[in-house]
Each structure stands twice: as C-alpha cells, then as structure tokens.
Amino acid sequence: MVKHLRHNVILTLALKQVIKNISGEFKSCELTAIMGTSGSGKTTLLNILSGFVTENVTGVLEFNRASRSQSYIMQDENLNLLLSVNESMMFSINLKCGSKLTREKKKQKVDQILETLGLEQRTDVFVKNLSGGQRKRLSIAIELVDDPSILFLDEPTTGLDSSSSLQCIRLLKKLSQQGKTIICTIHTPSALLFQMFDHLYAMTDGRCIYQGGTNNLVPFLADAGLNCPPSYNPSDFLMEIATGEYGSQNDALSKMIQNGSNESYRVEANNKVKKYEFEIINEDFTNRFSSSFMNQLSNLLLRNFLMLYRDKVIMWLRLGIHIVVALIVGAFFENTGGQATRITNNFRLVYAITLFLMYTSFYSLATRFSSEIAIIKTEHFNRWYSTSAYYLAMTIADIPLTLVCSFIFVATVYVMTDQPFEDFRFAYFVMLQILSSFISQGLGLMIGSFFKLMNALYFAAVFLPVIVLFGGFMITQKDANKFFYWIFEICYTKHAGDATLVSILGYNRSKLECTEEIYCHFERPQKFLEEIDFKDEISVGNISVLIASLIIFRLVAFYMINHRLKH
C-alpha cells in the first residue's frame, strides 16, 4: 500500500505562537525538504510531525494506516562511541526487532543495510574513529533495521563537507525511491542538492510560503512577480526573499500558497488510500516496543557492560583511587582499632570511610544520565526500549565495579587499622559501608536526573557539604541545636556511620588495649558508646533509614528519568 503523511497543525508554546495554521502533505516515494530561515519553525514542525513534541499543540495528523512506523534522526549523531559499527547495528536490530527475526536473518539484514549505505568496509571500526559523513550514515543505518515507512531527519547535512552532504542526500533519495516517506529539515542547500529533492516545504515566521516540487519553485515565484536570475540558486533566492531582501513579500507568498493548502505546484500522486486521523495531543509514539522487556534488558546490560569494560580510563581510575586512598587512610590510622587511648580517632576513621565512599559513589552515577540523555532520548523515542529497561540495566551494570571498589577500600582500611578480627563484625562493617555506597549512588542518580550536567555538578558541590555537616562527624546530634535534630534523623550518612561504629565497638566487645600505665577511661568500648549516646547494638532505626533512603532515592530518580524522556 502506498504510504503518505498529511498534516494540519497549529503550535502554541507559552505565550508565543510559533507555527500558525499551516497545512500540507508529505507523500511516499518523495524526498521532502523543510526549508526556512533561522527561527522560522522548521525544526518545531519536524518535532510535531514525528511526535517528539506533543504538548501545547493542536491539530490533526492523517495517515493511510491506523498505525505508523517511523524513526527520527536528530541533528547530532547520538551514537555510542565505544561500540563498533557492527555492534551498533546488532544492538539496534536486537532491541528494535526482538525475536521477530532469527540471528541469521538479523545478520543478513545488517550486512545488506551497511552495504547499501557504503559502510560494509567499516564494520569493525569503532564509532569514535568514523568520519562525520560515516557517522551520519550510521545514524541512518541503525534506524533502518526495522524498515520504518517514515523517516524524519533534522539537518542531516550539518557539519558535513560538500562531498559528504551529496552522499547523504543521494542515500536519502535512494531510500525514498524504495517507497519510504523521507522528510528532513535543511538550511541552505547547494543548487545540486536542491535539485535532488522531490518536494519543498518552505517556511518563515511560522507560516508556509511555498510547498510543491523543487522544479516549480521558480515558476511560482515568477507568478508572484519575483523573477529568479538565471545564474541564481533558487533556494538562495527564496531565502533572500524570506529575509526581506526584496521587500515584504512573505504575506503575499503565504496567501498565494494558502499557507500550505495549495497543491497546484506539485505533481499529484495516484495514491488514493484510506486515511486515519489522530489528534496530536493524544498520540503517544513511545509505547510500541517490538521486543520484550527481558530482551531489552539483556541487550542493554550487555551493551553497558561492554562500554564500561572499554572505558578503561574511568574503570582503572575508580579502582586506583580506592586502593591509593585506602593505603593512605590505613597508614594514617594505623593500629587505631585496638587501643583505648585512640578510640576517638577510631570514631573519626569510621566517618571518614563513610564520607569518602559517599563522594566517590555519588559521582559515579551523578553525571551518567545527564551525559547520556541525548542518546537515550533518541533511542527511547524511536522505540528501542522502555524507560524501566534502561534504568534497570544502568543500575545493574554499575553494581560489580561499585562492589569491588567499595570492598577493596573498606577491607584494606579495616585490616590496616587493626579492627577486631571477628567474622560478624567484619561482615557488618563491610555490608553497612557497601549499602551506604549504593545509597550515595542513588542520591547521585536522583540529582543527575533533575538537572543538566553542569547544573547537577554545581548543585552537588553545594548539597554534599550539608550531608557532611549532619553526618555526625563534625558535631554529634546531642551537641547540636535541637531545631536540627530532624535533619540528623533522616541523614543516611549519620545512620551508616553510627551503625558501622557500633559494629566494631558494640556487642559486648572485650576490653581494648591500654597503653597508659595507670588508667584508660575508654578501656571498655561500651563506655565510649554511652558517652556519645549510642546503643550497644545496631538499631532498627539505623537500618530502616538506610533502606528507606535506598528505595526513595532510586524511585525518585526513576520517576524523573521517565518524566524527562516523556517530556
């Protein structure tokens, strides 16, 4: 069945009307260019047509089918740089097609697409080593694996030289000739590129000033009394008119083309098919995932593990920092754990461990979502995977490295500082600190989900010292102003530090070594715990706050990520 897209949209953002009652039709087997001056509304129109923007929009989109198959390729190549071309393609087809195709069929389809796009010789090359034109072609290739009927592209030639731009437009032309509807925005195409488009939709100030065949643009302008010089690029001439170089002509052109409704300057196609209407504000394109949740999760996990492994600088840096700092802290607090005269230093050591793991774990995920959001938004919108699959895969993938780093740090310090060699104490000590690390990760992810990258880093620089202040290290709760007691009660670092201290000093621990000849005030560890108003066993309150913090931070982070991906 011949496929085409017809639209009639009005867009209002805040108090400013961006797009004004435009109409038009985009047909299959045509390569369409949406062209306009900066700020004319061409990218906004593309976002509406694709469904990327649905809020504050009124109008109707009509299709020849009750469902639509589409992909949206944005201006920036949102690709994973640490994957090879073949890996990028295989992850795409696995996520988008699921079990619809066998592994052999998927491989055949990937090879066919790469050959069509001229990337068959670059299959084992990492994306970061591709040229700009090759990355652009790969961006198109990974969206072709599920054979979308409609392809939207925002400025596909931006950043490319003339040769790469020509290759890109030729590729889109070839795809349109295969029956697809190809719609792209473009700023100032050369004369050669301009002639390759079948259909032009020109805009300025939110209105349509021409829609029709590219070969009919010059006659249209002539009918309006604007004669294009023979040596001029018609698209340049039109943009000069749009910017007012020849006086105020836009109102007349918009009226002449009936703001996009006038079809007399384009060739009519014989595709009389049934159309289905959709209210834009009710359309949701992100809930139709072809693969199952488990397929999404397994592929995303594999991709995350692969990228974490290949990002060796970050991996070894995290591991190295934990080892080096553990050795420094262990040497600094040497033999602290068994001496009564140094029990206050042991108190400081516990909170120093807690705060170090808080900072390192916090930043391990605080920037993750913010730095990846461009890729995630594109893949999620193009129906690769659900928010829950992405979130769960991201969370699970970082667990092994966090476990290893935290365990090495805590165990090294524990042994070097001569803490009690009792299995249950060591187990409590390590588990509590690892739990604190995962809570800090959740906090970092939550803050990162609220803000853009730089804003998240700035907010963290202000927020983390507050957590340190109420962590019980600088001042204990009983010595603070009573007005702030409630903050101490909900601060997870305080409860993690308190429980960790009790794990090594509580539970009827035997007397500590006394180096004083006459008297050691804290020879019995229980006396020190009484002095700072601690119980001899880890309280239910400590564990409850830690578990509640872990759950709340993660749930809020998921909600915000889901909200940002949808809006």
The average pLDDT across 140-146 equals 90
Q: Smallest Cα–Cα separation from 435: which of 361, 366, 373, 372?
A: 361
Q: Smallest Cα–Cα separation from 156: which of 228, 223, 85, 75?
A: 75
The whole-angstrom separation of Cα 101 and Cα 538 is 54
The whole-angstrom separation of Cα 561 and Cα 451 is 10
What's the pLDDT tens digit per position in 423-464?
999 999 999 999 999 999 999 999 988 888 888 888 888 888
Residue ranges, CATH 3.40.50.300, the chain = 4-69+152-282
The average pLDDT across 506-511 equals 86
Question: Please, which residues bridge with residue 247 across strands?
Answer: 245
Per-residue pLDDT at 280: 45
Confidence of residue 470 (pLDDT cuts 50, 70, 90): confident
Confidence of residue 560 (pLDDT cuts 50, 70, 90): very high
The whole-angstrom separation of Cα 413 and Cα 347 is 14
Per-residue pLDDT at 4: 47
**Residue 84 in contact with residue 123, Cβ under 8 Å?**
yes
Enter the tokens of residue 310: 């290949």
φ and ψ at residue 509, rounded to 5 degrees:
-65, 145
Confidence of residue 284 (pLDDT cuts 50, 70, 90): very low
φ and ψ at residue 402, rounded to 5 degrees:
-65, -40
Long-range contacts made by residues 459-467, C-beta under 8 angstroms, separation at least 24? 460/362, 460/363, 460/366, 464/358, 464/359, 464/362, 467/358, 467/491, 467/493
- Provide the mean pLDDT of the chain: 85
Please tell me the CATH superfamily of domain 4-69+152-282, with its number: P-loop containing nucleotide triphosphate hydrolases (3.40.50.300)
Question: Is the pLDDT score of 286 beyond 60?
Answer: no
> Considering the entire predicted model, what is its pTM?
0.84
Enter the tokens of residue 126: 């990492």
**How would DSSP label each residue in 308-323?**
HHH-HHHHHHHHHHHH
Q: Which residue has the tokens 């005269």?
A: 341
Task: Provide the CA 235 distance to its chain's centre, in angstroms.
Answer: 36
Confidence of residue 363 (pLDDT cuts 50, 70, 90): confident
What's the pLDDT tens digit per position in 298-328?
999 999 999 989 988 988 999 999 999 999 9
DSSP-assigned letter for residue 201: E
Q: Which residue has the tokens 């990337």?
A: 119
Q: Which residue has the tokens 């992909």?
A: 71
Question: Is the pLDDT score of 274 beyond 60?
Answer: no
Q: Smallest Cα–Cα separation from 278: which of 58, 70, 21?
A: 58
Per-residue pLDDT at 517: 59
